[in-house]
Structure 1
Amino acid sequence: MQEAQQLIDPKAEAILEAAFGQFAAYGFRRTSMEDIAKAAGMSRPALYLYFAGKEAILRALVGLYYARLGNAVEAALAGAGAPDEVLERAFACHAAAIPDAVLRAAHGEELLDRTAALCGDIFVEGEGRLAALYADWLSREANAGRLRLAAPPRELAGTMLAAAKGTKVAPYDAYPERLRLLARLLGRGLRA
């Protein structure tokens, strides 16, 4: 995630947005650095001043995804409300963080496969941060007497995240609604 934290440069973010559009439209393999440079409105040599290659761009995209998602989830979990309301807000961050372009793109599956192959370390770190955020929330709420936990917070957090991922099946239009229902179910079941 260190790569994402270094991306404070608006031009680098514009490059990532352009690259994402190219990857979603044409696939990772078929997208060239020239394609990304054109989409970003710059020359290929200028693009190489920012990123060493497509793999570095993809890693930066995944790092940025997890950084933004983690920040959004952290803010949602810090808010007040009944457990199901808080979880609904936090899970909505997950749905909002996954662009429709990935879920609906003809090359979305290839992009997800390539991401898994090239970004495993970023994935582990990002998922670890998310699990820690949910575990901290569960602990805080249980200590305040608002939740009743049937297992250690870290275990519950991992199970909640796995269940949330399981709702990401076709049809994709229903994904946000399935997350909302899961949040309600979990939140109501955790109430003290």
Structure 2
Amino acid sequence: MKDAAQSDPKRMAILKAAFEAFAAYGYRRTAMADIARAAGVSRPALYMHFTGKDDIFRALAQFYYDDAAAAVADALNRTGRPDHVLEAAFLAQSGQIGEALLNSPHGDELLDTGHAVGADIAEMGEARLAELYAAWLEREAMAERLRLPGPAPLIAHALVMALKGLKAPPHDGYIERVKMLARILGRGLAR
């Protein structure tokens, strides 16, 4: 699903510039003037696209979840061992934005801001990701490649929450922890 930001190159340039500014300076220290300058637009032009930093941050959150859902769906449509498929899906869910966020010195502030400013977007995005994982679990169980210890939606929700929990500090080794979670879960569910 392509939203307005993805179909408008100027909005995408603003979102890219905003993300880079937030990652470099943190949410609180980034001014709209910083974002406008980095995006190569005037402040009035910036306000033609977004009402303020919260609006930009919410658009970034929506972009992240839209991008993550598309990447996860693609990964889950591949064939292979469950641990390999889950690893691809988990890494796709994290994506470049997630990795950059966790590697930013302001990552914790940005995660907190996401909870404060975009909690509804995160909730809907995580629900959509859980639906993708549940559909995969059900499909693989029907094909007798997985053995489910409970309802697929409950397991899928646990997967999404486990991945969310891996974002807690310390951030060093995040990718390795994601891969380990995929191996544990994939091998534990495999027939």
With normalisation by structure 1, the TM-score equals: 0.92
Shift of 1:169: 4.1
Instruction: State the match for 1:151 in structure 2.
Output: 150
Instruction: State the match for 1:130 in structure 2.
Output: 129
Shift of 1:174: 1.2
Gaps of 5+ in 1: none
Change (3 A) 1:180 1:106: closer
> How far apart are the structure 1 equivalents of 2:133 and 2:98?
22
Instruction: State the match for 1:86 in structure 2.
Output: 85
Of 3, 28, 48, 1:5 maps to 3
Identity of aligned residues (%): 53
The answer as to whether partners of 1:69 and 1:97 remain within 8 angstroms in 2 is no
1:45-56 map, 5 Å: 45-56=44-55
Provide the aligned C-alpha RMSD in A: 1.6
Change (3 A) 1:103 1:82: same
Instruction: State the match for 1:22 in structure 2.
Output: 21
The answer as to whether partners of 2:18 and 2:56 remain within 8 angstroms in 1 is yes
The answer as to whether partners of 1:76 and 1:86 remain within 8 angstroms in 2 is yes
Pick which of 54-63 and 6-15 moved more. Answer: 6-15
Change (3 A) 1:99 1:145: closer
Change (3 A) 1:101 1:86: closer
Instruction: State the match for 1:31 in structure 2.
Output: 30
> 1:141-184, CA deviations, whole angstroms, 9 ceiling, x for partnerless residues?
11111111100000001112222223334443411111111111
Gaps of 5+ in 2: none
Shift of 1:105: 2.5
Shift of 1:128: 0.3
Shift of 1:189: 0.9
| Partner SS state of residue 149, structure 2 | coil
Shift of 1:104: 3.0
1:74-113 map, 5 Å: 74-113=73-112
> 1:112-150, CA deviations, whole angstroms, 9 ceiling, x for partnerless residues?
111111111101110000000000000011111111110
Count matched residues: 190
Shift of 1:33: 1.1
